[in-house]
Each structure stands twice: as structure tokens, then as C-alpha cells.
Structure 1
Amino acid sequence: MDRTIIKFNHCETDIYRFTVLPHFTEANEGAPSHEEFKQCPLCFETLAFDLLNAPVSVPRPFVNAHKVPCAFAIGSVHGPSFIGEWHDTELHVGITSSTGVVHNYTLSGVRRDDQGWEKCLCLQLVPPWRNNLTHTWDNELEQFCSTSDWTPERFHEEREFGSCCYAFALAFVNHIQVLEGKTPLSKEEFTGTHILPRIKTISKYIQVYQAIAQHGFYAAGQRKV
């Protein structure tokens, strides 16, 4: 899912499509040509835009977790297109350090990954200006990972969204909450408030991306990605 999606309005409809590749190759077979791209895919009229309604890029909802410090990260071993809400594949969850190392709980215990989380859902939990908390975060994260709660022997994977890796990450979030004098969050509260809205955004993006890949465009009326 590396293509860039752009959005423009024509025929009173929001239309999404990929940017045109400069050269046609077997790798982009099926992509619209330059001439096709100049036409509205609904009415086939020639497209003309002024500065106020020119096509805009749709931001990708996936980020490189290794570049997001002090964050709650969710990824899938099958790739970003499997993070959508309709997939039953196992999602994996971790916590990043201030340097982007993803700490995550697995069958072998706590892993510290400096690669492999390049296309994830990320929720940054510490504002950049909280330097004191960033330092505390790293120290507390290392101590937290070293406790007996997160040994390989205690790992029992659940067949639901709230798996052991999720419990590990949320437990650390609540550990920091308590240190900050705040109330711990339940799994339902944290998931419903902070995770599911982002999953829904990713799901919509995946739906649009796959429709463009199949049909060359996606028409959505006034609905937003």
C-alpha cells in the first residue's frame, strides 16, 4: 500500500484515485494513463481545477513506529492492509521508547525491536515538550519489562483483540498513568476511546485503496476518508 491517494470533487462527488505514474511498466499495469487521468471517471469530461479545488493528497494512516517516540503501536505481521476492523488476523501491540525501539510481549518474553514496525497504527502518548516524562518513560519501560509478569512462561495468547501483548502495553500505559497521579484506564475505555476510532479510519482508507486498485477510482459522494 505504497501508492499515494489523491481526492478531488467532480460531478458533485468526492473522487479518489492514485497519482499517475510517470512511465507505464508491467508493475503499474491497470493504472490510468495520463490521458485517462485528465478525465472524470464518472462523466468522462476533461478535468480542470482552480487553486481552491485542486486535488489534495490523502494522508496515509500508517506510520513508522520506530520514528514515533513514547507511543502505543499496533501492527500486523501480514501487512498494514490487515489492520482493518473486518480482519480476524492477529494484531500485535507494542510500546515504543523515546528512540523508537518497540517493546512487545511475545511467546519468548519481551522483545525489543528496532525494525519491523514500519507501517503501523501509532498513538503517541507523551507530548514532545514533556522532556522530563520522556526520560521517566524510558527508565520505567525498562524496569517494567524486567518484572516477572512478562516472562515466556506467563504468556497465554487469547483469541481476541485484547491479547497478552495488548495487556502488556496497556498495563504500561496505566503504570505511567498512576505515576502521573491519574486514574488507570480499563481495556474497554482505552480501546473505545483511543484505538477503535483510529482502526475505523484505517479501515476506510484500506477500503478506498483497494477499490482504486481494482477499479481505477473510488467515488464517495461527500463522505470523507
Structure 2
Amino acid sequence: MDRTVVKFSHCGRDIFNFSDQTTKLSSFCQQKQTGARRNTCPVCNESLAFGLLDAPVSLPYPFTNGHTAPCSFLLGANDGPQFLGEWNDTELHVGVSNSNGLVYNYTLSGMQMDQCGWEQCVCIQLVPPWRDSLIASWDKELQLFSALSEWTPERFHEEREFGSCCYGFALTFINHMRALDNKVSLSRNEFTTSQVLPRMKRASMYIKVYEEILQSGFYTIEKNEISSI
């Protein structure tokens, strides 16, 4: 998914396509010479003329390079970000990054520390960048926590939710750090509902829009129907 998705409004609808398509549309609409080539709306077939509030805007890309996201919860798909949609039956994997972007994740082989492979994932940053002492503590605690006997290959058991107990490792560490920061622990349901699902829904909608544009050349909905994208 290496093309930028943009949205513009026309004929009472929000219309999505790729930025290279919209650049052409905008340039056509800006030409003022007599007989200048005009382009039309793919929905109503009338000439396009963008007002200030209807002009094309880029959609935020929902995936992050986890190796540049310090102290974060990371969620990725083994088959790539396009498989992170809610409807895809694919194995998801969870990791926790340290302040230098090294991703700790629990697998069938035990703990792994990855310097690459998490370049496109859903990211939840957990430590504000101005909390230097907590960042330093995060790195130390993550290294010690990952070495505990709980995370050996022999104790790994596949779980259906989120693919494997890599999620258990991540959430247990998050709650460990919350306790050190004098915060209450979060249940799996609380963390999933408040942090993971909103980002997954945003990613799913982005993937849907992207795939529809690939198939049809554009995607359209009632104006402001999708508030989360």
C-alpha cells in the first residue's frame, strides 16, 4: 500500500482516490483558460470545482514503523499490513518496543528481539517522550522482564485471540510498568477495547477504501459517514 489516499467532497458525498489521480483533477479544475480541459466528478459526471472546505486532503496512514516508535505496543500481521483488516483470518503478532526501536516479542521459539520486520504495524505509544526517567526504566525493566522463565519456548501455548500469547506477554509487561508508575492494571478486555480496537477499526477502514480504489478507481460514501478515517 504505497500510494497515498486522498478524500474530497462533491455532490454531497465524500470521494476517495489516490493522490496522483487527485493531483490531475486539481490541476484541471485550476485551469482558467478558455477551452481548458475540464475533469468531471466520477459520481455525478459534472465538472469539478473545489471550494476551500471540499479540497482534497490526505488520509492519515494508519501504520507505523515500529522501529521508530519508542516504548510502544505494536500489532502486525505476518502477511503484511493489508491483512490487518478485521475481516481477514490471518495470524496477528504483538510486540513491545524499547526506546531504541528494538522490538521484544514472544514466539514459539521463545523471546525474540527484532531490529527489523515491524516496519508497518498498528502502534500504540505508551510513554510520553518527555518522561525521561520512565523511558530509562522501561528499557531496563523490559530487558529483565523478557528474561523471566514465563517466556520460554516450553511455556508457549497458542491462543486464538490475537494469534498467540505474545499478547499476554505484552499486556503483562504493560501492567508491570503501570504498577511501577502507580497506575491500576488493565484487563485484556479493557486494553483491547480502549486502545487496540479503535486503531484496528481505523486500519480496517483504510484497507477497505484502498482496495476499493484499486478495483474501481474511486470509493464514495455519504458525506461525513466515516468519522474514524
- The aligned counterpart of 2:207 is 206
Match of 1:56 in 2: 57
Whole-angstrom distance in 2 between the partners of 1:80 and 1:157: 22
1:21: how far off? 6.3
1:50-76 residue CA offsets vs partner (Å, 9 max, x unmatched):
334211000110110111000000000
Distance apart, 1:101 and its partner CA: 0.8
Tell me if the contact between 2:96 and 2:105 (Cα under 8 Å) persists in the aligned partners: yes
Counterpart of 1:139?
140
Residue 13 (str. 1) matches residue 13 (str. 2): yes
**Greater shift after overlay, 79-88 or 37-46?**
37-46
Cα distance in structure 1, aligned partners of 2:173 and 2:185:
10
Shift of 1:160: 2.3
* 1:215 paired residue number: 216
The RMSD of aligned alpha carbons is 1.9
Unaligned runs of 5+ residues in structure 1 are 23-31
SS of the equivalent of 1:20 reads helix
Deviation at 1:38, TM superposition (A): 3.3
Return the alpha-carbon distance in structure 1 between the equivalents of residues 120 and 41 of structure 2: 32
Contact 1:155/1:164 (<8 A) preserved: yes
Please say if residues 137 and 176 of structure 1, whose CA atoms lie closer than 8 Å, have aligned partners that are also in contact: yes
- Counterpart in the other structure of 1:26: none
For residue 9 of structure 2, what is the amino acid of its counterpart? N
Which position in structure 2 is the counterpart of 1:28?
A: none
Q: How does 1:83-122 map to 2 (within 5 A)?
A: 83-122=84-123
Aligned equivalents of 1:172 and 1:87: distance in 2? 28
Deviations 1:169-221 (A, max 9, x none): 00100000111111111111110111011111111111111111100001111
- One-letter amino acid matched to 2:68: K
Q: Between the two proteins, what is the percent identity of the paired residues?
A: 55
TM-score, normalised via structure 1 length: 0.90
The secondary structure found in structure 2 opposite 1:220 is strand
Give yes or no for contact 1:20–1:37 (8 Å, CA) kept in 2: no
Partner of 1:25: none
Distance in 1 of aligned mates of 2:38 and 2:3:
15
How many residue pairs are counted as aligned between the two chains? 215
One-letter amino acid matched to 1:38: N
AA paired with 1:114?
Q
1:21-73: CA deviation from partner (whole Å, max 9, x where unpaired): 69xxxxxxxxx9x9799321011222122334211000110110111000000
Distance 1:37 1:124 in 2: 45
Change (3 A) 1:62 1:166: same
Q: How does 1:135-214 map to 2 (within 5 A)?
A: 135-161=136-162, 163-214=164-215
Which aligned runs of 4 or more in structure 1 are off by greater than 6 angstroms?
A: 34-37
Q: Which amino acid in 2 is paired with 1:118? A: E
